[in-house]
């Protein structure tokens, strides 16, 4: 079950890094959760294709995970792996903008100037 534990540790670490160190606030924003709902949908499609047991691209050693696969043949550990990879990247993306406010502001030049909270 090494993959299972590695996945759990990775998710905890990413969340801890945000709460104790980065403090970007991303995990408190609606944008984050709406984005994740969309990402999750496409993650299932892509990972479903990679892991389908009828013609698998990635082969898993079932001794190193729980063996629980959902939906289709996606090992549930893949969601932990994906969450850690994607959320860590998002947090660093946010952090960079917060440390370079001039550059972040340029994002708004083509959009509405009024900010809503």
Partner 1 sequence: MDVDRFQYLILMGLCLLITLPLEFLFGARVWRRPRRLVAAMAVPVAIFVAWDLIAIAREHWDFNPQYVTGWELPLNLPVEELSFFLVIPICSLLTLEAVRRVLDRD
Residues that bind partner 1 (CB under 8 A): 2-3, 6, 10, 29-32, 34-35, 38-39, 42, 46, 49-50, 55-61, 64-65, 81-82, 85-86, 88-90, 92-93, 96-97, 100, 103, 107, 110-112, 115-117
Nearer to partner 1 by C-beta: 71 or 117? Answer: 117
CB of 94 to partner 1, least distance (A): 8
For residues 12 and 85, which CB has a smaller minimum distance to partner 1 in the complex? 85
Give the 3-state secondary structure of residue 12.
Answer: helix
Distance of CA 68 to the CA centre of its chain: 20
The two three-digit tokens of residue 98, written as one number: 């917060």
Comparing CA positions, the residue from 109, 87, 77, 81 lying closest to residue 33 is: 87
Nearest approach in angstroms of CB 70 to partner 1 is 17
**Shorter beta-carbon distance to partner 1: residue 20 or 38:** 38
Pairwise CA distance, residues 63 & 32, whole Å: 34
CB of 3 vs partner 1, minimal distance in Å: 5
Using CB atoms within 10 A of its CB, is residue 58 exposed (0-12), middle (13-18) or buried (19+)? Answer: exposed
Distance CA(6)–CA(10), nearest Å, equals 6
Q: How far is the CB of 104 from partner 1 (least distance, A)?
A: 8
């Amino acid at each position: 079950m090494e993959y299972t534990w590695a996945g759990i540790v990775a998710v905890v670490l990413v969340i801890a890094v945000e709460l104790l160190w980065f403090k970007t606030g991303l995990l408190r924003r609606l944008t984050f959760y709406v984005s994740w709902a969309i990402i999750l949908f496409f993650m299932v499609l892509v990972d479903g294709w990679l892991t389908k047991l009828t013609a698998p691209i990635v082969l898993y050693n079932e001794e190193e995970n729980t063996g629980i696969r959902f939906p289709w043949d996606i090992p549930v550990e893949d969601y932990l792996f994906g969450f850690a990879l994607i959320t860590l990247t998002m947090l660093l993306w946010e952090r960079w903008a917060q440390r370079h406010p001039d550059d972040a502001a340029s994002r708004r030049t083509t959009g509405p100037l009024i900010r809503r909270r």
